[in-house]
Structure 1
Amino acid sequence: MLKGVSSVACVGGGVIGGGWIARFLLSGLNVRVYDPHPEAKRIVGEVLSNADRAYGLLTMAPLPPRGTLTFCTTLQDAVADADWIQESVPERLDLKKRVLADIDAAARPEALIGSSTSGLLPSDLQTGLTRPERLFVAHPYNPVYLLPLVELVGGRSTAPETLVNAKAILESIGMKGVVIDKEIEAFVGDRLLEALWREALWLIKDGICDTETLDDVIRYSFGLRWAQMGLFETYRIAGGEAGMRHFLGQFGPCLSLPWTKLTDVVDLDEALIERIGVQSDSQAAGRSIRDLERIRDENLVGILHALQAGDAGAGWGAGKLLTDFEQKLWSRATPPTIDLEAATPLRLIDTRVNAAWVDYNGHMTEHRYLQVFGDTTDALLRLIGVDMAYIEQGHSYYTVETHLRHLGEAKLGQSLYTTLQILSYDSKRLHFFTHIYDLATQCVIATAEQMLLHVDMVSGRTCPAADEVLARLAPLAQRHAVIATPEGAGRHVGQKARQ
């Protein structure tokens, strides 16, 4: 449970509300939902299913136990005991004000109330509330369970500490709360998107291109740049060694040229709506909305993973945020129950083959085997005290040799687990053997024999491990020494199997 927050209420369970529900539940929070839509349970369930799948791709860090999901028949029942209430009803001022007034009347005095509005002013939403100081805009981006940004906007009556508390809570669930200094219609993100959207509609209306071409222009060019650097940092680079001032001096005059139609509003008549609809249907190529959501999620996970590797492994942008969140998850996680007294290999990792791990044959692709072995190595290192705090002190174990055997096939959805047996160690070396098993059949899928060296990361040279690390290794190695040497240990590539 998060400190200070144990229960959340979500009023509205559509695209955005369902995303909030998934984000909160997967962060270990209990969520009570009120949505009078007759299909609310199905819609939320499908969003949650996609979120589960996405998180399975996103991280191996242990998530907290999932919170309890409860659907309520009244708004009052949903919000009565909540610490954070997230309103995500349709974007109509009269409706939102009426719903927020009901929430304000039924909620505990100290509860935070966030609105998912995309552009309504929080000062307008606060009108008539008994406790307007705890209301603020919490504007997320779809899908809420993957995209971390939330624009936090206070109104005239919002207490400063409300935004401080909201930002801290969002950080604890892996999100990035940015406080907008002044309230304006559409805030910051949607102001930018509206400008692009307006120009895009003109390009379609004027027959310059179709929807697929326009999307290709974005996703194969500046969309990739924006995924890891924002607008201004991207243009700073475009200015060359002279930087932003040179860029503005060179390209600033272009702003006066009649390139765009940002001051003109396109007439979205029935003919244009139908044209865009037909082009969009063709572009989707028969894929359902759920298919497109899953494709989107896989792509976003891949981008986030790439950003994790940025800045020489320190992470960049949303990737660094993910790395920081994973470290918090590891630090809060309950260590797995491992019988360290038994003379048996250590069972360290349980996982499942997900869609991002398989190749065109539906089998787990080669480098994912190495990932599972690497995750097992990391689990062993944490067990003996080589955790993030140890690494931050400048020491770690580096893998210097691996021999991997593929003995079976791992397929999409298959549940796997790993066991590790220590073969030998000394002050600088760590030698072990790992099996990957199919959980259902108990058959061996693959094995890896690996040697690690303890390294001073500053000098890049080997050095003895800390005494406390060796003290944890010693009893494990002693117990594993009485276990039979695993079949395959000591083999080399091409060696014939023993008869």
Structure 2
Amino acid sequence: MTKTAAIVGGGVIGGGWAARFLLNGWDVRVFDPDPEAQRKMDEALTNARRAMPGLVDVAMPAEGVMSFHTTIEDAVTGAEWIQESVPERLDIKHKTLAEIQAACLASAVIGSSTSGFKPSELQDGAANPGQIMVCHPFNPVYLMPLIEVVPSPATNAAHVTKAKETLTSLGMYPLQVRKEIDAHIADRFLEAVWREALWLVKDGVATTEEIDNAIRYGFGIRWAQMGLFDTYRTAGGEAGMRHFMAQFGPALKWPWTKLMDVPEFTDELVDLIAGQSDAQSGHMSIADMLRIRDNNLVAMMRALKAQDFGAGALMNAHEQHLRAQSGLDARVADIADVSQPLVTVHRTVPLDWTDYNGHMNEAKYLQAFGDATDRFMEMIGCDAAYIATGGSYFTAETHIRHVDEAHAGAVIEVRTQVLMGQGKKMHLWHEMYEADRLLATGEHFLLHVSLESRKPCDPSAEIVSALERVAVAHAALPSPQGAGRAVGQRP
């Protein structure tokens, strides 16, 4: 059954929330009195549809339905999750939360996107304070996984558990803040760095571009994978954090920073910073910068995903959740009817799979078909656990035909037919489709090999049984057009 989220406040953050829910299969109901709200929301969704599916190597669920409503009551009625993202004024939030609670389900989670207010401040005077908590995201919400979940002592513990489970199912990381505190956790770091940066610009030590370069060419790259404490732990060498603290701890007493003070925001300072910022990146539109930002975020998180590290490990966990939901983790033994080609890949073409011609790079066709072969191997039992025992299939020959173009964002499906599966030999035929449009074919011939001797050997009886079951069933299928072709062969 489709779940429903209500978004109250459809600005940059509200639009990001809407995209995160919508692209994970939720229906989304939006209230925002701004007459431009739908246009702004559509822009956020366009960016999200382009970037978000590239985080995982399996297709996202079918997109939910988004609707716009003229009252808070209409928007929140029946919703399981309600996200408030109205302006950061306590009186506006109190009024909005009162309207929400007058119409919403008592079981609904009410999350506030506030970066500054504590949950107890939001709950003051509320009819049901137990269902209100802070769920503070980071921009862009459809890509950045961190959500600071901040309850107060009055927040219902069951609602907190439900909130964390929901956020995890959306591919996010719910960080429960142990105590109410102004600005929560992450923004306190950002505020400290921001204050110091303002002084460096004001005092003429560095320009806005030089400060940004210090971050993006230096510690920012390390922080993206390790955070703060792991970065310093490795800086201590083999002795770790104790050595680092002993060596650099005394420096904390030096008067380096002005973190407890902030320069006055005079017109001169604002003009200085705005002018430097325009000189730094004014050659790009904001829309261009957002697309570049999303490209880079997806590429960096995909790199971390390959290492199963940091935010990448979170993406892998979400991918496994999506695979289980779609049935793509099934084994041959679990499939009642194997008489038709088996779906071995169902995914979106990510941004970094395209080339200078604007379509999928030929190397990525090989990757997709290689993934299909790997998936089929898993389906017949040649998985990581089996390979660890010393046996696997090696590809001896590959032939790919490029039939039509695939572009970034296309949802592709690879269907695999067994042309021969007997003894040590496995001959697979892959067809890649976008809906009913054939994009490419891949033909793979593999041999089962001993990883110790690196020579062909018989697979286990279980693998032989599963492979032969599919091969026998697929023998009744017509021979695929193009099977056995050589390069340049005429039709």
Per the shorter chain, which TM-score range?
Answer: 0.7 to 0.9
- Whether 2:171 is the aligned partner of 1:174: answer yes
- CA deviation vs aligned residue, 1:226-277 (integer Å, no higher than 9, x gap): 1110100110010111111111111111112122121221122222222222
How far apart, in 2, do the equivalents of 1:403 and 1:441 lie? 22
RMSD value over aligned CA atoms?
3.3
Instruction: Give the corresponding residue for 2:107.
Output: 110
Cα drift, residue 19 of structure 1: 0.8
- Whether 2:309 is the aligned partner of 1:316: answer yes
How far apart, in 2, do the equivalents of 1:199 and 1:239 lie? 25
- Whether 2:221 is the aligned partner of 1:224: answer yes
Cα drift, residue 164 of structure 1: 1.9
How far apart, in 1, do the equivalents of 2:104 and 2:159 lie? 15
Cα drift, residue 194 of structure 1: 0.5
Equivalent residue runs for 1:252-271 within 5 Å: 252-271=249-268
- Whether 2:426 is the aligned partner of 1:433: answer no
Structure 1 unpaired stretches of 5+: none
Cα drift, residue 450 of structure 1: 3.8
Whether the 8 Å contact between 2:391 and 2:459 is mirrored in structure 1 is no
Secondary structure, counterpart of 1:184 in structure 2: coil
How far apart, in 2, do the equivalents of 1:153 and 1:161 lie? 14
CA distance 1:131–1:455, change in 2 (3 Å): farther
Cα drift, residue 320 of structure 1: 0.9
Cα drift, residue 287 of structure 1: 2.3
Equivalent residue runs for 1:46-57 within 5 Å: 46-57=43-54
Instruction: Give the corresponding residue for 2:459.
Output: 464
- Whether 2:363 is the aligned partner of 1:367: answer yes
Whether the 8 Å contact between 1:415 and 1:440 is mirrored in structure 2 is no
Instruction: Give the corresponding residue for 1:69.
Output: 66
How far apart, in 1, do the equivalents of 2:212 and 2:192 lie? 15
Cα drift, residue 356 of structure 1: 2.1
How far apart, in 2, do the equivalents of 1:180 and 1:220 lie? 30
Instruction: Give the corresponding residue for 2:467.
Output: 473
Secondary structure, counterpart of 2:240 in structure 1: helix
Instruction: Give the corresponding residue for 1:305.
Output: 302
CA distance 1:103–1:363, change in 2 (3 Å): closer
Instruction: Give the corresponding residue for 2:339.
Output: 341
Cα drift, residue 215 of structure 1: 1.1
CA distance 1:177–1:423, change in 2 (3 Å): same
Secondary structure, counterpart of 1:220 in structure 2: helix
Residue type at the aligned position of 2:130: E
Cα drift, residue 472 of structure 1: 4.2
Whether the 8 Å contact between 1:416 and 1:439 is mirrored in structure 2 is yes
How far apart, in 2, do the equivalents of 1:64 and 1:415 lie? 11
Q: Quick check: 243-252 or 327-336, which moved more? A: 327-336
How far apart, in 2, do the equivalents of 1:439 and 1:194 lie? 48
Instruction: Give the corresponding residue for 2:322.
Output: 329
Secondary structure, counterpart of 1:141 in structure 2: coil
Whether the 8 Å contact between 1:437 and 1:446 is mirrored in structure 2 is no
Instruction: Give the corresponding residue for 1:82.
Output: 79
Question: Identity rate of aligned residues, in percent?
Answer: 45
Identify the match of residue 354 of structure 2 among 327, 340, 358. Answer: 358
CA distance 1:226–1:428, change in 2 (3 Å): farther
How far apart, in 1, do the equivalents of 2:364 and 2:377 lie? 20
Whether the 8 Å contact between 1:9 and 1:85 is mirrored in structure 2 is yes
Instruction: Give the corresponding residue for 2:97.
Output: 100
CA distance 1:53–1:396, change in 2 (3 Å): farther
Instruction: Give the corresponding residue for 1:251.
Output: 248
Instruction: Give the corresponding residue for 1:449.
Output: 444
Identify the match of residue 183 of structure 2 among 171, 181, 186. Answer: 186
- CA deviation vs aligned residue, 1:340-383 (integer Å, no higher than 9, x gap): 435xx667556665542222343432421222212332453465
Cα drift, residue 195 of structure 1: 0.4
Instruction: Give the corresponding residue for 1:147.
Output: 144
Residue type at the aligned position of 1:371: Q
Residue type at the aligned position of 2:418: I
CA distance 1:17–1:265, change in 2 (3 Å): same
How far apart, in 2, do the equivalents of 1:9 and 1:365 lie? 39
Structure 2 unpaired stretches of 5+: none
Cα drift, residue 95 of structure 1: 1.1
How far apart, in 1, do the equivalents of 2:70 and 2:480 lie? 61
Identify the match of residue 16 of structure 2 among 14, 19, 25. Answer: 19
CA distance 1:99–1:485, change in 2 (3 Å): closer
Whether the 8 Å contact between 2:10 and 2:31 is mirrored in structure 1 is yes
